[in-house]
A and B are shown apart, each in its own frame.
Chain A
């Protein structure tokens, strides 16, 4: 039971981990991308479209292509979302909050629209999108995981995307703290004028960080449909996980490594109501509040404590225009 709970918590946490790692990389460049929920929808539906078209057009599925095509579709679609955001906020210096919200509206719309209309648009005769075949390739896990009891269940039973999420988070953490690029990126988010004076190309860093962040977040959407939902797309099924990912960034204090633990914790909080005995449905709904309450608690504590290493990047949300300084 405990092992199962932890396994489920990890599965719930992986999309959040993708989302929050992506948002951390983005925010480190000073961009507050509230469009992440939309980006994650688009990443998910991108994968669905790729998989659907491949399943429809291929007679037999090649395992590599069945994974590779949806993966690349998800990457490209979320990259486009990142580019839209960057073009508006970095090049056109638009308000980041408004742009982010519009991006979320747009992205959720894209996800639900294609989720609902893909079958008709593709002129296919299947009743609904059901990608269990593709999903089974995505979900492939280590064959001996089941033989290792709780250890296997918790640590080895996951699919490659889950391990990729953790690898990306570790890589992002390494990049931010241990490389020249990471140092420059953090400087851009903290104090773009200083970074500019030091010869760092502020706009380029913002673009690249935000687009990479979008791609990472988009993979969260892909994981959700292909792994968690067994390849069945349901509209609004992804729910508010995108916002939760943004909340997780605060909880993790802008550190990708902490967000690995945080995402599993949030995943656990998200489903803990299922594991509490004698809880009626309404009580479950109250329990679902937990991740948000915990986030607010952390937000307030860090602002009261005013601890310097738990603060958002200093220029977060502000556009940079050199000639204004």
Chain B
């Protein structure tokens, strides 16, 4: 199959629209790729890139719009249909069986004619590897592999099924710079071989160095397509972040700012050695909101969990007690120890029903989570929680039949009100909130913003991890920008521009040095 650079696009989308409940994930998106071309899809988190690709791969079915493969209209209902049209997707979260070898994973579910032979498969895997310059031992087990090797398996799996159209969902998010370069070389070879490649990313320099064309999505909408050699970083950033939206969040000037929490040289690695946080240092002051910006998975979640005592990190986490004026080191303390030292640290985790609350328990019992140890002797005392639950329901306008309704039956916004309400009720001196408005409607979001502002006015140090830059800039006093597990800078939220932050999110100091 030699490079067939015909003018008919390998795949073309026309007016694709997909709605989840009240959220429009894709709104009339167009896109087209030719054989022998690499198209980058650029957009912020939640701009609908993955949803769009899932519709090509047969995971979702579009509400409206048409898909053409090699000029003919097609209907893709399942991953199998997608394979039939030569479309293969490499998901961000690998779909591999851990205890299988690479070859076994590649053969999984295949309905080939002829003898079943792992040897044959391994031989073909080797051929494919040689053709494109992969390095992969087909008899190696997945659990013994590095992330980049796993990704290689996923790519070969797709090639093995003779895919001509490859979709890669943020393939470089998990790779080291050298690995990324290797992957790009492979992709270029595939392009020269006549394959059509779509790569989702939000790293600008990658877009510029790899792609032939760029399609930009902004909040689910099609923002345009440009040729890579006729564009530059600032134009793309502008298209990606869109126009600045002014939000009516009342932001007061920070008062009585003194350092409350100081993180110094914090490092955190997973058991397998992957470093998640690299030399993080920053200070949060009382009476201010420190926003944390960054693309998803830059280490925000892990950072907060390290501070809250849920993960074991290296470095210093110093807490300055406002009353006793003592300095307490929170590093390597467990959540209970932190509380017993009198540190009033509240944490609203990203995973509300999996960590912050228990879905099957009612509101009262969930409120009780924080203070259940206060009861007399061995017994629980629910009276305070009952009172507090009623109060939270009233003050925060939680929509629920009553206080003894299991929280999993509440809507997302009401679940979050219960969680934030509980954490605030402890009158924290430090309040950390990870994506507290994700999936919430406008009204609930504003309730949460107001609550955070109120904590700030009460003199708490508030850490707010968000994904919407408009909100971060309207709510925070300072914004710490993270990129790939490191701090790429701290800016003043009142003066910084969206483009400035956008660039810091996708290109930190180290990478600047490389380019």
Please report A residues at the B interface, Cβ cutoff 8 Å. Answer: 178-180, 183-184, 186-187, 190-191, 193-195, 197-200, 308-309, 311, 314
Contact = CB atoms under 8 A, between A and B. Distances in A.
B165 to A, nearest CB: 18
B109 A190 contact: no
Given A179-B116, A183-B116, A195-B109, 5 more contacts: A183-B107, A183-B108, A200-B109, A308-B99, A314-B99
B98 interface: yes
Interface in B70-99: 78-80, 95-99
B143 interface: yes
Interface string B98-111: 11100010011111
A194 B106 CA distance: 12
16 contacts: A179-B116, A180-B116, A183-B100, A183-B107, A186-B97, A190-B99, A194-B95, A194-B97, A194-B108, A195-B108, A198-B95, A198-B109, A199-B109, A199-B111, A308-B143, A314-B99
A308 B141 CA distance: 10
Given A180-B107, A183-B107, A197 B116 contact: no
A186 B142 CA distance: 15
Contacts of A183: 100, 104, 107-108, 116
Contacts of B109: 184, 187, 195, 198-200
A187 B106 CA distance: 12
Interface residues of B, number: 18
Contacts of B143: 308
Contacts of B80: 199
A178 B110 CA distance: 15
B98 A191 contact: yes
Given A178-B116, A200-B109, A308-B141, A191 B79 contact: no
Nearest to B110: A180
Given A197-B95, A199-B80, A190 B100 contact: yes
Q: Top 5 nearest A-B pairs by Cβ distance?
A: A198-B109, A180-B116, A199-B109, A194-B95, A198-B108
A178 B116 CA distance: 8
A200 B78 CA distance: 12
A194 B107 contact: no
A186 B79 contact: no
Interface string B216-254: 000000000000000000000000000000000000000
Nearest to B143: A308
A199 B83 CA distance: 11
Contacts of B107: 180, 183
Interface in B372-401: none
A313 B46 CA distance: 35
A165 to B, nearest CB: 25
Given A178-B116, A197-B79, A199-B79, A309 B108 contact: no
B79 A190 contact: no
Nearest to B118: A178
A131 to B, nearest CB: 43
A227 B457 CA distance: 84
Contacts of A195: 97, 108-109
A251 B339 CA distance: 45
Contacts of B110: 180
Nearest to A194: B95
Given A195-B109, A198-B108, A186 B116 contact: no
A309 B79 contact: no
A115 B99 CA distance: 44
B116 A191 contact: no
Given A178-B116, A180-B116, A199-B80, A190 B108 contact: no
Contacts of A200: 108-109
A296 B95 CA distance: 34
A190 B110 CA distance: 17
A187 B79 contact: no
Contacts of A199: 78-80, 109, 111
A321 B141 CA distance: 27
A195 B98 CA distance: 12
Contacts of B111: 199
A314 B79 contact: no
Interface string B107-143: 1111100001000000000000000000000000101
Contact of A190 (B78, B97, B116): B97
A186 B97 CA distance: 9
A38 B160 CA distance: 45
Contacts of A190: 97-100
Interface string B17-50: 0000000000000000000000000000000000
Contacts of A191: 97-98
Contacts of A184: 108-109
B100 A186 contact: yes
B100 A187 contact: yes
Taking each of B95, B108, B143, which has the highest tally of chain A beta carbons within 10 Å of its own beta carbon? B108
Taking each of A179, A183, A193, which has the highest tally of chain B beta carbons within 10 Å of its own beta carbon? A183
Contacts of B108: 183-184, 187, 194-195, 198, 200
Taking each of B97, B98, B141, B143, which has the highest tally of chain A beta carbons within 10 Å of its own beta carbon? B97
Contacts of A187: 97, 100, 108-109
A105 B90 CA distance: 48
A172 to B, nearest CB: 16
Nearest to B91: A197
B256 to A, nearest CB: 48
Taking each of A178, A184, A198, A308, which has the highest tally of chain B beta carbons within 10 Å of its own beta carbon? A198
A309 to B, nearest CB: 7
Nearest to A190: B97
Contacts of B141: 308
Contacts of A311: 99
Nearest to B112: A180
A150 B398 CA distance: 81
Nearest to B104: A183
Contacts of A186: 97, 99-100
A195 B80 CA distance: 13
Contacts of B97: 186-187, 190-191, 194-195
Nearest to B116: A180
B104 A309 contact: no
A186 B96 CA distance: 12
Contacts of A194: 95-97, 108
A24 B141 CA distance: 21
A180 B109 CA distance: 8
A232 B388 CA distance: 70
Contacts of A198: 79, 95, 108-109
A200 B98 CA distance: 17
A197 B79 CA distance: 7
Contacts of B104: 183
B340 to A, nearest CB: 33
Interface in B141-156: 141, 143
A193 B95 CA distance: 8
Nearest to A181: B116
A49 B430 CA distance: 74
A314 B100 contact: no
A187 B109 CA distance: 9
A109 to B, nearest CB: 35
Contact of A309 (B95, B96, B99): B99
A183 B143 CA distance: 17
A199 B78 CA distance: 9
B436 to A, nearest CB: 25
